[in-house]
Structure 1
């Protein structure tokens, strides 16, 4: 292996990056980044596009990373890319998930409606609530990290998270109502 001008090891063409390299650390973040990108965009295809743009930007701007909290730095890049894209795509509309019947079916859940209910509830949240909920609950980020990533006060993070949880609970509880009386 040889060293590049920035001091990182370079492997042979076609091999994986060194385990302690910047690229390897970014690759390790892909599952988390993919979940977050899909939750922001509400679409697998758009989520993959956002993920690709984010990874590309992180790799090309690696010199700007200060060596602390790579995950937070990359999630901030993704959040900013998403916000900038939303500003540019004001006239764009979303396609209903039912219009994608030609796509391969996902693995069956024990409750076939559970995924649909969860997706509907998540998509009904505002972007701000959904971003905070995904970062704290799914990605396990601290309140302070989320506040830094989204450039909002920590109290706002806690408030949005509380409201997002309340809304999710009420939406999911409303879907689980089963009448026990026979119709007359």
Structure 2
């Protein structure tokens, strides 16, 4: 079991980051998730990867509801006086990522989790439905609403977007 958990750590960390919005909280979330999995185990005949994502999501929801702090935990990079074109592009990318993280944080929990699993982790709709114990149609509708809302929130930040 430990080898399988080691194999899913990078995916689990990316998922945790997509939920929390910052690396420190993501690391804490992964640690708590792994503690729960190692303490309580994985039910028989359950895919470890799906179980880990489910436990991670549930831990995040519990902590989110208890503290309500993670929504404002996005770091913004500082602009330095002398920057090359490459540095400006890096800054613009980081700034765009901060806007995306802020927009993701405004989505309802269910939409954010599904968008993260599909877009960040590359899971299929069927895999998401199975891990979240909801119908595939619900995954599709929540994903559609999440994408639409995210696109609407990001319109002011798109390259070449008019006022």
Q: What is the aligned counterpart of 1:36 among 4, 15, 21?
A: 15
Unmatched tracts of structure 2, length 5 or more: 79-86
Structure with greater proportional helix content: 2
Written as runs of structure 1 = structure 2, the 5 A alignment for 1:15-94 is: 22-62=1-41, 64-89=42-67, 92=69, 94=71
Q: Distance in 2 between matches of 1:161 and 1:24?
A: 32
Secondary structure of 1:66's match?
coil
> Whose Rg is larger?
1
- Give the C-alpha shift of residue 79 in structure 1: 1.4
Calculate the aligned-residue CA RMSD, in Å: 2.7
Say whether 1:164 aligns with 2:146: yes
Cα distance per residue 1:88-140 (max 9 Å; x no partner): 336x5754535897xxxxx9737433322322322222221110001112112
Q: Which has the higher contact order (CA 8 A, sep 6+)?
A: 2
Written as runs of structure 1 = structure 2, the 5 A alignment for 1:115-154 is: 115-154=97-136
Q: Distance in 1 between matches of 2:125 and 2:148?
A: 18
Aligned equivalent of 1:173? 155
TM-score normalised per structure 2:
0.76
Q: What is the aligned counterpart of 2:90 among 109, 115, 132?
A: 109
On the 8 A contact 1:109/1:115 being kept in 2, the answer is no
